[in-house]
Amino acid sequence: MFLHKLSEILPSEQIFIGDNIDAKYLSDFFGREKGAAIALVFPKTTEQVSTVVRLADAYRVPVIPRGAGTNLAGSTFPEAVHNAIIIDLSLMNQILALNPETFTVTVQPGVLLCDLQEYVESHGLFYPPDPGEKHASIGGNISTNAGGMRAVKYGVTRDYVRELEVVLPNGEIVCLGAATVKDASGLSLKNLIIGAEGTLGIVTKATLRLIAKPEFSVDVLVSFSSLRTALESVPEILKTGVIPTAIEFIAGSVVQMGERFTSLQFPAPKATAYLLLTFDGPKPQIADDLRRVENHLRELKALDFLTLDKSGSVTVWKIRGCLVKAVEAQCAQEPLDLVVPIDKTADLIESVQQLTAETGVVTVAFGHAGDGNVHLCVLREQRNDEEWQADLTNFLTHLYRKAADLGGLVSAEHGIGIAKKRYYLALTDPAIVTLQRQIKAAIDPKGIFNPGKSYSI
Amino acid sequence: MFLHKLSEILPSEQIFIGDNIDAKYLSDFFGREKGAAIALVFPKTTEQVSTVVRLADAYRVPVIPRGAGTNLAGSTFPEAVHNAIIIDLSLMNQILALNPETFTVTVQPGVLLCDLQEYVESHGLFYPPDPGEKHASIGGNISTNAGGMRAVKYGVTRDYVRELEVVLPNGEIVCLGAATVKDASGLSLKNLIIGAEGTLGIVTKATLRLIAKPEFSVDVLVSFSSLRTALESVPEILKTGVIPTAIEFIAGSVVQMGERFTSLQFPAPKATAYLLLTFDGPKPQIADDLRRVENHLRELKALDFLTLDKSGSVTVWKIRGCLVKAVEAQCAQEPLDLVVPIDKTADLIESVQQLTAETGVVTVAFGHAGDGNVHLCVLREQRNDEEWQADLTNFLTHLYRKAADLGGLVSAEHGIGIAKKRYYLALTDPAIVTLQRQIKAAIDPKGIFNPGKSYSI
């Protein structure tokens, strides 16, 4: 009956049912899990999203919103038990308006990050959030509060969302937030939707804040004799008053893995650890920033401070950008995005090394040192399914506990989804889990929006 | 019975009952309204707050949280009908910890903004939010998402809150957020508390983000031949890529009012309108910023571009800072904090002038041009109570409608409280009001926290 009604409200070419659903929509990003759905639809308008949700609400059919499908935590994975409908927003991919007077752009949720960045930059503007996956959708970035490289200076997705059009679980369409810079008018429902992983509403339009495009950007590679020295330099850099756009860390051994994968040569002498710093702005300001940071880092025993030319920058970012894929090419892995306070990154890495010594589980680490966000790839190596599940669970239980002890969180920017849910729930105050579920029950009393993801039951 | 139990859980010197409650706690900031409360308490610890709230929950006694009492929208006003207990947090005024490694400070909610700013600056650090009322409490700033002068470059209070300890309406104590820079772990309950005007929880501790203290700060006065030209220059300034710390606007006539009130002399030739710009950072960067902005503004017909020396800066900010009081000294007034998109400020001001012509209601306008936040003081002049209520209501109804048509909001930074509630509710999508009330009912099922304020019933 539901499917019959569905066929009445959407053109047939926008509906896929049963065996006609491509397997990629029934799995996670890595294609490992196997789920199921009763239907997959591709709405083209907010009204179509609303109509489909109203129907799902009437028939109590769970709804799984999906953008570009790049989520790494299984946030868009359709668990077979739910018999859900997947609403894929990738056809709603228009950039609707650019307003250079208010420094805002209005987009549909299916617009890809790379397309948005290119578009606004061609107009002399700049969308600062820069998550690693450039082919993610903006709707997905909002739903996970995606972070990325440039958070040190510019913040994360949350900081750039002015206004959201959202379809609620009852099918109602609401506009949350405003095109204004300031807002002290009522509860910030917009901020509740951001990072909710589609459990409270489906974003169907977003007005995002932009800034003027920085005139220049310069990358610097700083070499260190140990990863600890590198990581402990991060607060010191920020104490100079200079805020680099990005502060990435990467161990020498990981660089070599990236070199092999890309067949590129890292444009710096071999070292145990590197910080990759980016500075942007007008030329005189960058020169002044470089001078200050270099002076301070040399006092702090940095081995080398290498300002990269254009081709050097391209090479380094290609190597930095390929790391998850380079690891994945070597063996299956579990990608993590832990975060700790910025003065605790070195301690976290040390705990990881200890855990490896104790458990035999090996990881590859790199990430955003400037904001304490460590990307660990946990390597499966030769383990069979059973060994892998047991070892991974044990390793993650101890690791996340350690991160929490350091004041950290399970997820910095990927979201909780289903992959991290058990660890998140184990480490979160039950009162806070209850609060979230109470809010969920208030907004989605039938529990049809993305059931079982993140905090939800 | 409630009062008896209260006397058992708090030392008597922390409790005031009946006639022992000073009148200032039973009124709004201007001392105009007359409310009532059954008790006023001054807890000294989070546990005391929690204990009092548990008792209030058990007896269904409404709770009104209060900080320094500087709110301009009546958010802390105890309406007599509620027979509430006022929880005043001003004795919880300790700065608990400064962490220069993570650039954070942890404070109790009763710490005053001026004290926090002075403290962190004495340690070479900087708390960027800068609301006009420096004697407001940090708890109050958080509860209204206070904005202020420096929002153009640095954002508002919301952008500087890392972690909150909150007492919920059932007395539970929870910690929301984390000391980390990034967070994609569950719903952002922290952001729900910020700006909630005490309707969902009482902030008992806050960890705030800091930055390194800018080395220098320079103020510039730019003169224009009309207020429209001044306001329309704001997006143009931002298009240079330079983001000033502050962009304030002030009409020549308002300057004269401030001069009379302070007996100071504005350090610039007479003009119809001024923009007051602040730039901060290292000296070479400020010099470069000034050059760019001056060049662009001169092309745009600015009459004069005057870089202020230290005494000039002090004078101008004294005059700018006294304006509400200068107006208030002249006659009673209603202080507004409307906000529109930054390209609509000139249109809003024009609408105000039209409304004045139509209704005879006179206003004084100044404010934060860089973020579209216009402070209007609506002058009572010689009206008696009845005339004033009728004329003010009519004026505000039309004015807020116009602001909404321009994409604006009723409150940028003061909150809705009770003063703006009717206008906020009239202009807000009923679905959004319902959503807020559903969330309120989920978190505060007995409706005891700050009843009747903002969106709540």
DSSP string, A364-426: EEEEEGGGTEEEEEEE-TT--HHHHHHHHHHHHHHHHHHHHHTT-BSBSSS--TTTTHHHHHH
Question: How many beta-carbon pairs below 8 A join chains A and B?
Answer: 276
Q: Is the dihedral of CA A117, A121, A125, A128 positive or negative?
A: positive
- Are B148 and B413 in contact by the 8 Å Cβ rule? The answer is yes
Integer angstrom CA distances of residue A288 from A279, A292, A293: 10, 6, 9
Distance, in Å, from the CA atom of A171 to the CA atom of A165, rounded to the nearest integer, reads 12
Q: Is the dihedral of CA A139, A144, A146, A152 positive or negative?
A: positive
What integer pLDDT is reported at residue A202 of this predicted model?
98
Contact A371 B182 (CB under 8 A): yes
Contact A187 B455 (CB under 8 A): yes
Distance, in Å, from the CA atom of B49 to the CA atom of B57, rounded to the nearest integer, reads 12
Name which of A182, A370, A432 is nearest B339 (Cβ-Cβ): A182
A104-127 residue pLDDT tens? 999 999 999 999 999 999 999 999
Q: CB under 8 Å to A19, separation ≥6 — which residues?
A: none
**pLDDT tier for residue A324 given thresholds of 50, 70 and 90:** confident
Distance, in Å, from the CA atom of A143 to the CA atom of A162, rounded to the nearest integer, reads 14
A129-157 residue pLDDT tens? 999 999 999 999 999 999 999 999 999 99
Residue of B nearest to A341 (CA): B180
**The three-state (H, E, C) secondary structure of B98-136, written as one string:** EECCCCEEEECCCCEHHHHHHHHHCCCEECCCECCCCCC
Which residue out of A99, A168, A187, A339 would a mutagenesis test of the B interface target, given it has the greatest number of B Cβ atoms within 10 Å? Answer: A187
Q: Which of residues 420-449 of B touch A (CB under 8 A)?
A: 424, 428-429, 431-433, 435-436, 438-439, 441-443
Which chain B positions have a beta carbon within 8 Å of A147's beta carbon? 182, 184
Does B299 reach chain A within 8 Å, measured CB to CB? no
Contact A191 B196 (CB under 8 A): no
What integer pLDDT is reported at residue B301 of this predicted model?
83
Residue of B nearest to A235 (CA): B101
- Are A341 and B102 in contact by the 8 Å Cβ rule? The answer is yes
CA of B320 to nearest chain A CA: how many angstroms apart?
20
**H/E element, A152:** helix A151-154
What is the ipTM for the molecules in this complex? 0.96
Distance, in Å, from the CA atom of A39 to the CA atom of B112, rounded to the nearest integer, reads 56
Strands A85-88, A39-41: pairing kind: parallel
State the residue for tokens 């116009």: B402
Which residue out of A374, A428, A435 would a mutagenesis test of the B interface target, given it has the greatest number of B Cβ atoms within 10 Å? Answer: A435
pTM (2 d.p.): 0.97
What integer pLDDT is reported at residue A260 of this predicted model?
95
Inform me whether the pLDDT recorded for A96 exceeds 90.
yes
What integer pLDDT is reported at residue A33 of this predicted model?
85
Q: Across residues A154-174, what is the average pLDDT?
A: 98
What integer pLDDT is reported at residue A31 of this predicted model?
84
Inform me whether the pLDDT recorded for A448 exceeds 90.
yes
Distance, in Å, from the CA atom of B274 to the CA atom of B271, rounded to the nearest integer, reads 7
A216-262 residue pLDDT tens? 999 999 999 999 999 999 999 999 999 999 999 999 999 999 999 99
Q: Which of residues 222-241 of A touch B (CB under 8 A)?
A: 235, 238-241
Distance, in Å, from the CA atom of B253 to the CA atom of B251, rounded to the nearest integer, reads 5
Name which of B185, B192, B372 is nearest A187 (Cβ-Cβ): B192
With H, G, I as helix, E, B as strand and everything else as coil, classify residue A255: helix
- Are B84 and B103 in contact by the 8 Å Cβ rule? The answer is no
Contact B184 A172 (CB under 8 A): no
CA of A204 to nearest chain B CA: how many angstroms apart?
16
Does A102 reach chain B within 8 Å, measured CB to CB? yes
B289-322 residue pLDDT tens? 999 999 999 998 899 999 999 999 999 999 999 9
Does B264 reach chain A within 8 Å, measured CB to CB? no
What integer pLDDT is reported at residue B190 of this predicted model?
98
With H, G, I as helix, E, B as strand and everything else as coil, classify residue B424: helix
pLDDT, mean of each 10-residue run, chain B (457 residues) = 97 96 93 93 98 98 97 96 98 98 98 98 98 96 97 97 98 97 97 98 98 97 96 95 96 94 95 97 93 94 94 96 90 94 96 97 95 95 96 98 97 96 98 98 98 96
What integer pLDDT is reported at residue A301 of this predicted model?
84
**H/E element, A98:** strand A95-99
Inform me whether the pLDDT recorded for A330 exceeds 90.
no
Inform me whether the pLDDT recorded for A343 exceeds 90.
yes
DSSP string, B270-332: --SEEEEEEEEESHHHHHHHHHHHHHHHHHTT-SEEEE--HHHHHHHHHHHHTHHHHHHHHS-
Distance, in Å, from the CA atom of A456 to the CA atom of A449, rounded to the nearest integer, reads 10
Distance, in Å, from the CA atom of B281 to the CA atom of B311, rounded to the nearest integer, reads 20
Distance, in Å, from the CA atom of B276 to the CA atom of B312, rounded to the nearest integer, reads 12
What integer pLDDT is reported at residue A120 of this predicted model?
98
